């Protein structure tokens, strides 16, 4: 059976050599210093979620430059440097878990930041919980991520159920003849939960749910579903998904001649790529979002004292508008530093306790973790694309335009 | 004097030994690499039954792995003890493969390959649409293994190694048995094999079932290890491609090939990923293309004597 053994022997030797080489390279951890706060970040820099991953990367760099320009952070009387160690997990869940483990055991990070998306956040949360390392999730909004009562996981986005109630009420008020809604959601953690919670909210607001289906991840053609939506005769089309799905969906709605006075795409218009990709077709599309730069908070703790200061720095650096991913992630970094300062050290258990007690105002908004460790809900903005601009329709305190119906 | 066979056996034993000793020698990250190697080796050995011995290009590995994940997870969530849940996943996946094989193995060559890819997609869609049972796109939480990170890593490593060992032993048995002979005949000429009295359908189903069995166990153990599964990651088409590439890299249809291929592939991937963050995928792709062009029958079939021949004195005088 061992067919040509001499070759196998050479091969075994080669394999062992390779194995030891791999072990050696893995063991060479970076120099360890005491007065450094080490933040680990597995990011999706390539693969399906690369756009979002790069956003996190760039905003944290902006944040870090700001911190380091100030010489570091003050913790218990001394100054600490901050380091962010990031790896690309290639939008691959298996690798995300592996990297979280590498960051903890190999790079000896003090805390971790979760990547974009509820699913991958969950995979990493299982690792950090095991190692008892605090994990801050800045772009995971589904309550199902936080339902295992993990002690070390904290999220800066608010639960998304609050978003749909306000939206149904607002639209009903702006368009009193609103009768039927068609809901079409991507079968993935966040988009799915938005679709299901919209169905509940719509029914509660007295709107008939004429169509309610989910589409599989990776669907490249929505025409069958859109034909059914057309037949349902809805006057509000509500689609959830990620930017690429929504661009495709909007184009196909147009191609198949579906018209409705209200088209909502969650969270399409929150991203610049959406409006860039659709051009005129984006006009009139509404969405809810967790944050918009029109929300003006002042007197905030952290690197930026106000939303305006953040907006100014961001636009200078990147020549484009920040979205909620940028804001929530930068704020998460602020929350983290705040917790380390409160704890007086980078001791993981103490930082965790300090995180749990967080109650602060950042440029992104107030942060206070609820019983499930998600940021407590507040009024989240509803936005609309009007011409080339994104206007805020809700809440009234920051609204800067009236809702327009699509003709 | 040691025969060649002894050397090979020693090499394999040594390799198992190195993998098994990682918890004593290295940190948890290295253990994770060892777990990954054991996991892929087990799946590569499995694929070898259908893809190597029988020569049927199957791409359904991800389907078996994914079903294993889900059956294990669902069983555990309904209160079935850990090990029983793993066993249940194994049995379920095997039965699934037998039933499926009876239908799909009527296809040959390219048709079979495409059919087997379709299985992955169909199962993924079923799992993601059957929200009530599988949680759909939300995925499923699996109870975390108890104990600290070191204990969990060590436990998972030994379980994965045990699966790999089992797959290896079965490979040796099949290789020596009538089944292995029959499968090789099928690979060479199915019609001729049929004519000389080999029950080709039954043999192929057996190979297909063997190619599923260990993937099911691996899937269930993987689910317990990561603590959260979702359809996209469990039924990743990349897995269906990676595993055959590993076997081809090592040498398809051989006993040692899958182990060598999986070990080399995982370490190459790890090496390029760690050193060339931006370009790792492109480099890895390049290597795969290179290997397929220059090593069509795998590392095991490499003719080392020919590689070194140029250096012999005779050649040198010829060159001069």
- Judge residue A70's burial from the number of C-beta atoms within 10 Å of its C-beta, 0-12 exposed, 13-18 middle, 19 or more buried: exposed
pLDDT for the residue numbered B4:
76
* DSSP 8-class letter at A404: -
Please count the CA atoms within 13 angstroms of the CA of A195 that sit on its side-chain side: 25
Q: Are residues A329 and A224 in the same domain?
A: no
- Measured CA to CA in angstroms, residue B54 lies from B69, B188, B192, B208, B251 at distances of 26, 8, 14, 9, 14
Residue B129 scores a pLDDT above 90: no
Task: Return the bridge partners of A42, or none.
Answer: A87
CB-CB contact of A381 with A400 (8 Å): no
The mean of the pLDDT values for chain A is 86
CB contact under 8 A, B300 and A94: no
Rounded to a whole number of angstroms, the distance from the CA of A306 to the nearest CA of chain B is 35
Q: What is the pLDDT of residues B169-190, one digit of tens each?
A: 999 999 999 999 999 999 999 9
Strand-strand pairing, A135-137 and A78-88: unpaired
Nearest-by-CA chain B residue for A241 = B137
Task: Return the bridge partners of A288, or none.
Answer: A382
Chain A residues in contact with B12 by the CB 8 A cut-off are 12
CB contact under 8 A, B33 and A26: yes
Q: Are residues A102 and A147 in the same domain?
A: yes
Rounded to a whole number of angstroms, the distance from the CA of A282 to the nearest CA of chain B is 27
Q: What is the pLDDT of residues B284-305, one digit of tens each?
A: 788 778 777 877 777 777 666 6
Residue A233 scores a pLDDT above 50: yes
Which range among A280-284, A295-299, B14-18, B265-269 shows the weakest confidence by mean pLDDT? A295-299
**In a 3-state reduction of DSSP, which class is residue A242?**
coil
CB contact under 8 A, A97 and B141: no
The stretch A198-209 carries a mean pLDDT of: 92
Q: Is B226 on the interface with A (CB under 8 A)?
A: yes
CB contact under 8 A, B226 and A93: yes
Please check whether residue A23 lies inside any domain of the structure.
no
| Total residues belonging to chain A | 407
Please check whether residue A281 lies inside any domain of the structure.
yes
Helices (H) and strands (E) in chain B, counts: 16, 2
Q: Which residues contact A116 (CB under 8 A, 6 or more apart)?
A: A44, A49, A52, A53, A55, A56, A139, A325
Residue A288 scores a pLDDT above 90: no
Chain A residues in contact with B132 by the CB 8 A cut-off are none
- pLDDT class of A13 with cuts at 50, 70, 90: very low
Neighbours of A357 (CB within 10 A): 12
- pLDDT class of A268 with cuts at 50, 70, 90: confident
Structural domain boundaries, residue A267: 161-289+381-394
Q: What is the pLDDT of residues A147-180, one digit of tens each?
A: 888 899 999 988 877 788 889 999 999 999 999 9
Residue A299: CATH number of its domain: 3.40.50.2300
Rounded to a whole number of angstroms, the distance from the CA of A330 to the nearest CA of chain B is 24
- Structurally, chain A folds into a number of domains equal to 2
Helix B237-250 to helix B61-77 angle (10° resolution) is 120
Please count the CA atoms within 13 angstroms of the CA of B151 that sit on its side-chain side: 6
Chain A residues in contact with B148 by the CB 8 A cut-off are 130
The stretch A132-153 carries a mean pLDDT of: 88
CB-CB contact of B94 with B244 (8 Å): no
Q: Are residues A209 and A281 in the same domain?
A: yes
Q: Are residues A312 and A346 in the same domain?
A: yes
Q: Are residues A202 and A244 in the same domain?
A: yes
Q: Are residues A176 and A103 in the same domain?
A: no
Q: What is the pLDDT of residues A44-71, one digit of tens each?
A: 988 878 888 999 999 999 999 999 898 8
CB contact under 8 A, A94 and B226: yes
* DSSP 8-class letter at A187: S
pLDDT for the residue numbered B166:
96
Rounded to a whole number of angstroms, the distance from the CA of B238 to the nearest CA of chain A is 10
CB contact under 8 A, B137 and A5: no
Q: What is the pLDDT of residues A67-99, one digit of tens each?
A: 989 888 988 888 899 999 998 888 888 888 888
- Judge residue B282's burial from the number of C-beta atoms within 10 Å of its C-beta, 0-12 exposed, 13-18 middle, 19 or more buried: exposed
- Judge residue B171's burial from the number of C-beta atoms within 10 Å of its C-beta, 0-12 exposed, 13-18 middle, 19 or more buried: buried
Q: Which residues contact B108 (CB under 8 A, 6 or more apart)?
A: B56, B190
**Domain ranges, ordered by start, for chain B:** 25-319
Q: Are residues A256 and A386 in the same domain?
A: yes
Please give the model's pTM, rounded to 2 decimal places. 0.78
Core vs surface per residue B25-62: b (16+ CB within 10 A) or e: ebbbbbbbbbbbbbbbbbbbbbbbbbbbbbbbbbbbbb
Torsion region of A260: left, alpha or beta (phi above 0 gives left; psi -120 to 50 gives alpha): beta
- pLDDT class of A15 with cuts at 50, 70, 90: very low
pLDDT for the residue numbered A342:
92
Provide ipTM, 2 decimals.
Answer: 0.72
pLDDT for the residue numbered A296:
79
């Amino acid at each position: 059976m061992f067919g040509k053994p001499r070759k196998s022997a050479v091969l075994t030797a080669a394999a062992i050599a390779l194995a030891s080489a791999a072990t050696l390279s893995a063991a060479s951890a970076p120099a360890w210093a005491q007065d450094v706060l080490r933040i680990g970040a597995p990011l999706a820099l390539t693969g399906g979620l690369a756009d979002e991953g790069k956003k996190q990367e760039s905003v944290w760099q902006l944040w870090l430059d700001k911190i380091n320009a100030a010489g570091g952070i003050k913790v218990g009387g001394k100054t600490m440097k901050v380091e962010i160690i990031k790896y690309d997990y290639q939008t691959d869940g298996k690798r995300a878990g592996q990297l979280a483990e590498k960051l903890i055991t190999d790079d000896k990070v003090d805390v971790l930041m979760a990547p974009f998306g509820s699913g991958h956040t969950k995979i990493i949360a299982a690792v950090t919980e095991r190692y008892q390392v605090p994990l801050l999730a800045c772009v995971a909004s589904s309550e199902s991520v936080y339902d295992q009562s993990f002690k070390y996981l904290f999220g800066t986005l608010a639960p998304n159920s609050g978003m749909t109630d306000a939206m149904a009420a607002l639209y009903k008020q702006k368009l009193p003849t609103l009768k039927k809604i068609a809901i079409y959601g991507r079968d993935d953690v966040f988009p799915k939960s938005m679709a299901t919670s919209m169905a509940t909210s719509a029914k509660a607001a007295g709107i008939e749910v004429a169509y309610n289906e989910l589409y599989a991840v990776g669907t490249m053609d929505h025409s069958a579903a859109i034909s059914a939506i057309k037949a349902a005769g809805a006057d509000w089309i509500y689609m959830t998904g990620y930017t690429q799905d929504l661009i495709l969906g909007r184009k196909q709605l147009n191609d198949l001649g579906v018209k409705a006075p209200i088209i909502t795409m969650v969270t399409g218009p929150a991203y610049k790529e959406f409006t860039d990709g659709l051009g005129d077709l984006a006009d009139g599309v509404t969405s809810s979002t967790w944050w918009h730069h029109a929300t003006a908070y002042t007197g905030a703790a952290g690197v930026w004292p106000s939303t305006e200061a953040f907006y100014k720095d961001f636009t200078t650096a990147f020549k484009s508008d920040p979205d909620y991913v940028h804001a929530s992630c930068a704020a998460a970094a602020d929350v983290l530093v705040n917790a380390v300062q409160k704890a007086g050290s980078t001791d993981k258990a103490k930082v965790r306790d300090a995180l749990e007690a967080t109650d602060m105002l950042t440029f992104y908004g107030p942060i206070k973790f609820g019983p499930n460790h998600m940021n407590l809900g507040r009024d989240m903005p509803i936005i609309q694309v009007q011409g080339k601009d994104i206007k805020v329709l809700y809440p009234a305190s920051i609204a800067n335009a009236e809702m327009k119906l699509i003709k | 004097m040691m025969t060649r066979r002894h050397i090979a056996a020693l090499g394999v034993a040594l390799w198992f030994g190195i993998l098994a000793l990682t918890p004593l020698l290295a940190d948890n990250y290295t253990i994770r690499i060892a777990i990954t190697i054991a996991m892929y080796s087990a799946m590569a050995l499995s694929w070898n039954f259908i893809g190597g011995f029988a020569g049927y290009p199957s791409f359904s590995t991800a389907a078996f792995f994914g079903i294993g994940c889900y059956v294990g997870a669902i069983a555990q969530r309904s209160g079935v003890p850990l090990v029983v849940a793993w066993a249940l996943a194994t049995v379920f996946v095997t039965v699934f493969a037998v039933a499926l094989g009876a239908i799909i193995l009527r296809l040959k060559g390219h048709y079979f390959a495409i059919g087997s890819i379709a299985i992955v997609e169909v199962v993924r869609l079923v799992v993601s649409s059957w929200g009530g049972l599988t949680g759909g796109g939300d995925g499923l939480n699996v109870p975390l293994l108890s104990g600290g990170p070191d204990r969990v890593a060590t436990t998972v490593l030994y379980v994965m190694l045990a699966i790999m060992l089992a797959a290896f032993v079965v490979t040796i048995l099949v290789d020596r048995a009538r089944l292995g002979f029959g499968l090789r005949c099928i690979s060479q000429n199915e019609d001729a094999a049929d004519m000389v009295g080999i029950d080709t359908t039954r043999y192929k189903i057996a190979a297909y079932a063997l190619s599923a069995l260990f993937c099911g166990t691996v899937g269930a153990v993987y689910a317990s290890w990561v603590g959260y599964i979702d359809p996209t990651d469990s039924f990743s088409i990349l897995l269906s491609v990676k595993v055959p590439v590993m076997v081809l890299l090592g040498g398809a249809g051989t006993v040692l090939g899958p182990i060598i291929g999986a070990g080399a592939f995982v370490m190459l991937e790890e090496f390029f990923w760690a050193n060339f963050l931006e370009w790792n995928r492109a480099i890895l792709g390049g290597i795969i293309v290179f290997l397929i062009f220059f090593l069509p029958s795998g590392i095991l079939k490499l003719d080392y004597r020919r590689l070194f021949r140029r250096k012999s004195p005779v050649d040198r005088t010829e060159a001069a």
